[in-house]
Chains A and B, each alone.
Chain A
Amino acid sequence: MAQIRIENVRKEFGAFVAVRSSTFTIEDGEFFMLLGPSGCGKTTTLRMMAGLELPTSGQIYIDGEEVGMKPASQRDIAFVFQMFALYPHMNVGRNMSYPLLSQGMSKSDAQKKVIEVARILGIEDILNKPVGGLSGGDRQRVALGRAIVREPKAFFMDEPLGALDAEFREHMAEELRALHDRMGATTVYVTHDQLEALQMGDKIVVMNHGVVEQFGKPQDIYDWPATKFVAGFIGSPAMNFLDFEGMIGSGANSVDLSGHKVTVPRTRQGAKGKLTLGVRPEHIHFNDKSEYRGSVIATEYLGTTQIVTLKTPNGEVKARVPSHVSVTRDERIGLEFDARTLSVFEADKGHVLVSEANEGVLNHG
């Protein structure tokens, strides 16, 4: 049980920079998600925390102690690998007792502990089986068991659900979250699946190209993305980007979108040139009174809601509207944006402009 702090951590592989100066803090007992597309440096960051890679520079603190250059075996942490990495030449019970034996625990004590953990995970009946013939879910449980059994300071998981079938993933995700709530141990979880991150995490770090793009609670990140990358990566479908040229002064509360005035949260920061208005699909409403119009290109039926793709003067947008609203192809529909939820980005730099709505979220991280 421990707080983990990453300060200016950087990792280079030859000329390639995998992680550029990452800084964030994982509080004691948090379920913390490292989210990003493949190759963004999230796994490298996790491996540096675990001691499987050494940082090129920067500090890593686990429980207040600087461990950046310590070998993995001395960090008192557990790691769940994507492919589980159960020792193939040992049975389930020996796999789970292996980390205990390295600490010099007696065989009988280790066995007692293994049985106790196996009971929590519901795998007592397979302790004597070889790991080769186990189902994906059981392998996952054994891998978790091997991690839990030692009661380490923190759990690190590298896409632990990645190797499971889709239907089983959801079940395992719930099981994992329940297990975390029961144990209360600090958990760092790497995933490229934004839904998984939103669903399970207490906090999320979004990374891209080795840079921490944003760090905070799932809802804050979803509602108030700090960059266009985060806005586009999180949410399905992603946030709509309406590109326009113009200027917005500090303290203004509207932008000029192809001649139409759109109200936005009052800004704290001005900008001019190429700008982007970001709006989530569920914040677009159909209103025939609106002069800002788009023509329908396609619709996708999703049960309670439908996704309507429209062509507007500022590019394509996707709107999430209730299923009972009937739309036809090529129909021109008036669009209205929920003013309290909009973000304005500098198109080229990708940063969001600080406004009275998002300043609280942006300033804490």
Chain B
Amino acid sequence: MSFSVTEASSRQKWFAGILVVGYALITMLPLFWIIATGFKSSPDAIAYPPKIVFEPTVEGYVNLFTTQTRLSSDAAVSAPQDLPWYENLVRKKGMTIVGPSRFSERFFNSVIIGFGSTFFAIVLGTAAAYAFSRFKVPLKDDLLFFILSTRMMPPIAVAIPIFLMFRYLGLNDTHAGMILLYTAVNLSLSVWLINGFIDEIPIEYEEAALIDGYTRFQAFYKVVLPQAATGIASTAIFCLIFAWNEYAFAVLLTSGTAQTAPPFIPTIIGVGGQDWPAVAAGATLFLLPVMVFTILLRKHLLRGITFGAVRK
């Protein structure tokens, strides 16, 4: 029988397979639970023992997007017959819809602040990383270390000074303030990651472009950027995930106009009893953009995590 040092035996493969599937089940279970809860009715959501098989309903989603009030008994009698489906759904509980909730607004805030801060972190990070990688920057190593050191403590450790600064500058509860904050926090990550990617691109490509009659900026734009694109994309995902999921600063610094989805979703609990299906529905919708992005770019993401590990 042939024997290989590097290839796993079939028993090892089985073991590895079971391990991976088991780990996947454990990590994905909460996710499935949240998605399932979003489609349960309120009693099903808190039933004990928990219901795995249930009758799906979009009640949670309707509750998420609307504000409701109790229907007076005489209004219930005089109700017209051609009500939309969501009004009927609500009426079964003796409630009526009085208007849209703030969820879509908050979700939209998350999109603006998340993508906005990612955009700035990537643009500034790429520019800085290119300079660090290609030019003689005085005190280069010290500067890079300083940039990295801003990541060494949890950002929330500076929450109080930031809160005071924001109040003084009038940035509290503004989109600009949140974009600025998340950009600043993400910048160290983007400078370091992109610096690594640009370092891997041989400088000869740019020199070839310079000789071919292009300016330094054209060489950067047309030759370096396309090659760093996958690295930049994976960095962008990391930045987006941070800004998208950030809770602590959002709670502290936003309350109205610029409030993002993370601090908003828990507030649903308080409105008209503990509406777990609505919370779960909000969490599910909130997950979607990042999930879709990550799945689309998962190959680059993996490269981003392991970058520099193997010299090609």
A contact set with B: CB distance below 8 Å: 50-52, 71-73, 77-79, 81, 83, 85-89, 98-99, 102-103, 146, 150
- Chain B, 101-156, CB within 8 A of any chain A CB: none
Tell whether, in the assembled complex, residue B207 and residue A99 are in contact, meaning their CB atoms are under 8 Å apart. Answer: no
Can you list 27 A-B pairs with a CB-CB distance of less than 8 A?
Answer: A50-B211, A52-B207, A52-B211, A72-B207, A72-B211, A73-B214, A79-B207, A79-B208, A79-B211, A81-B204, A81-B207, A81-B208, A85-B204, A85-B205, A85-B208, A86-B208, A87-B208, A98-B209, A98-B212, A99-B211, A99-B212, A102-B213, A102-B214, A102-B218, A103-B213, A146-B208, A150-B212
Q: Given A73-B213, A81-B208, A146-B212, 4 other A-B contacts at CB below 8 A?
A: A73-B210, A87-B223, A102-B213, A103-B213
B contact set with A: CB distance below 8 Å: 202, 204-205, 207-215, 218, 223, 226-227
CB of A125 to closest CB in B, whole Å: 24
Taken together as a complex, chains A and B put the C-alpha atoms of A86 and B205 apart, in Å, by 7
CB of B213 to closest CB in A, whole Å: 4
For A83, what are the chain B residues with a Cβ–Cβ distance below 8 Å?
Answer: 202, 204
For B202, what are the chain A residues with a Cβ–Cβ distance below 8 Å?
Answer: 83, 85
CB of B295 to closest CB in A, whole Å: 24
Contact of A77 among B205, B211, B226, B227 (CB under 8 A): B211
Tell whether, in the assembled complex, residue A89 and residue B207 are in contact, meaning their CB atoms are under 8 Å apart. Answer: no
Tell whether, in the assembled complex, residue B227 and residue A88 are in contact, meaning their CB atoms are under 8 Å apart. Answer: yes
Contact of B210 among A52, A88, A89 (CB under 8 A): A52
Taken together as a complex, chains A and B put the C-alpha atoms of A85 and B215 apart, in Å, by 17
Tell whether, in the assembled complex, residue B210 and residue A99 are in contact, meaning their CB atoms are under 8 Å apart. Answer: no
Taken together as a complex, chains A and B put the C-alpha atoms of A292 and B202 apart, in Å, by 57
CB of B216 to closest CB in A, whole Å: 8
Tell whether, in the assembled complex, residue B207 and residue A85 are in contact, meaning their CB atoms are under 8 Å apart. Answer: yes
Known contacts A83-B202, A83-B204; is A72 also within 8 Å of B223 by CB?
Answer: no
CB of B121 to closest CB in A, whole Å: 24
Taken together as a complex, chains A and B put the C-alpha atoms of A260 and B208 apart, in Å, by 59
Taken together as a complex, chains A and B put the C-alpha atoms of A73 and B213 apart, in Å, by 4
CB of A63 to closest CB in B, whole Å: 17
Interface majority SS on A: helix, strand, loop or mixed? loop
Tell whether, in the assembled complex, residue A73 and residue B207 are in contact, meaning their CB atoms are under 8 Å apart. Answer: no
Residue among A51, A72, A77, A150 with the most chain B CB within 10 A? A72
Residue among A79, A103, A146 with the most chain B CB within 10 A? A79
Question: Which A-B residue pairs are the 8 nearest by beta carbons?
Answer: A102-B213, A85-B204, A99-B212, A85-B208, A72-B210, A79-B211, A89-B226, A81-B204
For B214, what are the chain A residues with a Cβ–Cβ distance below 8 Å?
Answer: 73, 102
Taken together as a complex, chains A and B put the C-alpha atoms of A48 and B215 apart, in Å, by 17
CB of B24 to closest CB in A, whole Å: 34
In this complex, what residue of A is CB-closest to B213?
A102
For A85, what are the chain B residues with a Cβ–Cβ distance below 8 Å?
Answer: 202, 204-205, 207-208
For A50, what are the chain B residues with a Cβ–Cβ distance below 8 Å?
Answer: 211
Known contacts A87-B223, A89-B226; is A99 also within 8 Å of B205 by CB?
Answer: no
Tell whether, in the assembled complex, residue A89 and residue B211 are in contact, meaning their CB atoms are under 8 Å apart. Answer: no
For B227, what are the chain A residues with a Cβ–Cβ distance below 8 Å?
Answer: 88-89
Residue among B202, B213, B226 with the most chain A CB within 10 A? B213
For A102, what are the chain B residues with a Cβ–Cβ distance below 8 Å?
Answer: 212-214, 218
For A98, what are the chain B residues with a Cβ–Cβ distance below 8 Å?
Answer: 209, 212
Taken together as a complex, chains A and B put the C-alpha atoms of A51 and B208 apart, in Å, by 11
Taken together as a complex, chains A and B put the C-alpha atoms of A52 and B211 apart, in Å, by 8
In this complex, what residue of B is CB-closest to A85?
B204
Taken together as a complex, chains A and B put the C-alpha atoms of A79 and B203 apart, in Å, by 14
CB of B303 to closest CB in A, whole Å: 16
For A146, what are the chain B residues with a Cβ–Cβ distance below 8 Å?
Answer: 208, 212
In this complex, what residue of B is CB-closest to A99?
B212
CB of A45 to closest CB in B, whole Å: 16
Tell whether, in the assembled complex, residue B204 and residue A73 are in contact, meaning their CB atoms are under 8 Å apart. Answer: no
Taken together as a complex, chains A and B put the C-alpha atoms of A150 and B213 apart, in Å, by 10
Contact of B205 among A51, A73, A87 (CB under 8 A): A87
For A150, what are the chain B residues with a Cβ–Cβ distance below 8 Å?
Answer: 212-213
Taken together as a complex, chains A and B put the C-alpha atoms of A225 and B6 apart, in Å, by 56
CB of A132 to closest CB in B, whole Å: 12
Taken together as a complex, chains A and B put the C-alpha atoms of A88 and B205 apart, in Å, by 9
CB of A110 to closest CB in B, whole Å: 12
Taken together as a complex, chains A and B put the C-alpha atoms of A98 and B206 apart, in Å, by 13
Taken together as a complex, chains A and B put the C-alpha atoms of A90 and B204 apart, in Å, by 15
Taken together as a complex, chains A and B put the C-alpha atoms of A103 and B213 apart, in Å, by 7
Residue among B210, B212, B214, B215 with the most chain A CB within 10 A? B212
CB of B241 to closest CB in A, whole Å: 27
Taken together as a complex, chains A and B put the C-alpha atoms of A72 and B216 apart, in Å, by 10
CB of B245 to closest CB in A, whole Å: 33
For A73, what are the chain B residues with a Cβ–Cβ distance below 8 Å?
Answer: 210-215
CB of B136 to closest CB in A, whole Å: 10
For B205, what are the chain A residues with a Cβ–Cβ distance below 8 Å?
Answer: 85, 87-88
Taken together as a complex, chains A and B put the C-alpha atoms of A78 and B213 apart, in Å, by 9
In this complex, what residue of B is CB-closest to A76?
B213
Taken together as a complex, chains A and B put the C-alpha atoms of A77 and B208 apart, in Å, by 11
Taken together as a complex, chains A and B put the C-alpha atoms of A78 and B211 apart, in Å, by 6
CB of B231 to closest CB in A, whole Å: 13
